[in-house]
C-alpha cells in the first residue's frame, strides 16, 4: 500500500501529521473542524453507539478539543476523494506502557460497509504501531454495536472483558505485524 506521512504544520508544539494512501487521507483534527465533528457526534445515528450519549454543547466541544489536542491523543478526520466522512483516533496513549485506545466512526452512510473505513482503520493502526511504537491497543465498544464488534475483528481485536454496557477489546502489535499487515498491504489507493 502506498502510504506517506506529511507534516502539515504545527499547533503549538504539536506536530500535525497527515497520513495519505491514494484518495484516502487521515488529517489531524484542527479547531476549525470541531463543530463539524460535534454535529456528527450528536446525531442519534452516531451517539447511540457511544458510551456518552448526552447533549454536547459547542463550549463542551471546545473544552474537549483542548483536552485532547496533545501528543497523548491523535484524532484524525477521515477524508476520501476530498470529502470529510468520519473520525478515527488513537487516544489515551501511555508511551511508557506502549498502550493506547482507538476508535472510529463513519458519518457518511454511503461509505458504511465499504472498504474505505477498513483502509482508514488500517492506516491509523499502522501509524500507532509503526510510528508511535504502541504494542497494545484497546477499543471500547457498546455491546449492541454488532457492526463495530465485527469491524474490529478485521484487525484481530479480541474481547478481554465486558460490563453491562460495553466490551473491552484488545489487539497487539505482534499479531498486527504478522497477520494483519501482510493482508492489508496488498490494498491499493
Q: Read off the pTM.
A: 0.89
Kindly indicate the confidence band of residue 3, based on its pLDDT and cuts at 50, 70 and 90: very low
Q: Nearest to residue 138, comparing CAs of 98, 107, 168, 179?
A: 168
Kindly indicate the confidence band of residue 15, based on its pLDDT and cuts at 50, 70 and 90: low
For position 12, what pLDDT does the model report? 37
Domains annotated on the chain, with CATH? 4-184 (3.40.630.30)
Q: Nearest to residue 72, comparing CAs of 147, 128, 154, 31?
A: 128
Q: Is 118 exposed, middle or buried (0-12, 13-18, 19+ CB in 10 A)?
A: middle
Q: Which residue has the cell 497520513?
A: 19
Distance CA 10, CA 81 (A): 24
Give the alpha-carbon dihedral of 25, 92, 58, 143, to 10 degrees. 90
Question: Over the chain, what is the mean pLDDT?
Answer: 90
Distance CA 129, CA 68 (A): 20
Distance CA 77, CA 106 (A): 10
Kindly indicate the confidence band of residue 8, based on its pLDDT and cuts at 50, 70 and 90: very low
For position 9, what pLDDT does the model report? 36
For position 53, what pLDDT does the model report? 75
For position 45, what pLDDT does the model report? 94
Amino acid at each position: 500500500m502506498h502510504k506517506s506521512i506529511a507534516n502539515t504544520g504545527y499547533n503549538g508544539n504539536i506536530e500535525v501529521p497527515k497520513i495519505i494512501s491514494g484518495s484516502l487521507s487521515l488529517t489531524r483534527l484542527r479547531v476549525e473542524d470541531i463543530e463539524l465533528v460535534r454535529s456528527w457526534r450528536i446525531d442519534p445515528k452516531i451517539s447511540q453507539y457511544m458510551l456518552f450519549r448526552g447533549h454536547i454543547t459547542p463550549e463542551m466541544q471546545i473544552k474537549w478539543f483542548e483536552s485532547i489536542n496533545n501528543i497523548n491523543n491523535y484524532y484524525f478526520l477521515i477524508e476520501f476523494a476530498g470529502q470529510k466522512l468520519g473520525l478515527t483516533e488513537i487516544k489515551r496513549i501511555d508511551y511508557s506502557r506502549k498502550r493506547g485506545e482507538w476508535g472510529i466512526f463513519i458519518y457518511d452512510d454511503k461509505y458504511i460497509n465499504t472498504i474505505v473505513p477498513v483502509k482508514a482503520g488500517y492506516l491509523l493502526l499502522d501509524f500507532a504501531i509503526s510510528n508511535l511504537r504502541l504494542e497494545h491497543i484497546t477499543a471500547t465498544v457498546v455491546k449492541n454495536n454488532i457492526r463495530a464488534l465485527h469491524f474490529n475483528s478485521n484487525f484481530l481485536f479480541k474481547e478481554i472483558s465486558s460490563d453491562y454496557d460495553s466490551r473491552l477489546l484488545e489487539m497487539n502489535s505482534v499479531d498486527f505485524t504478522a497477520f494483519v499487515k501482510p493482508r492489508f498491504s496488498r490494498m491499493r489507493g
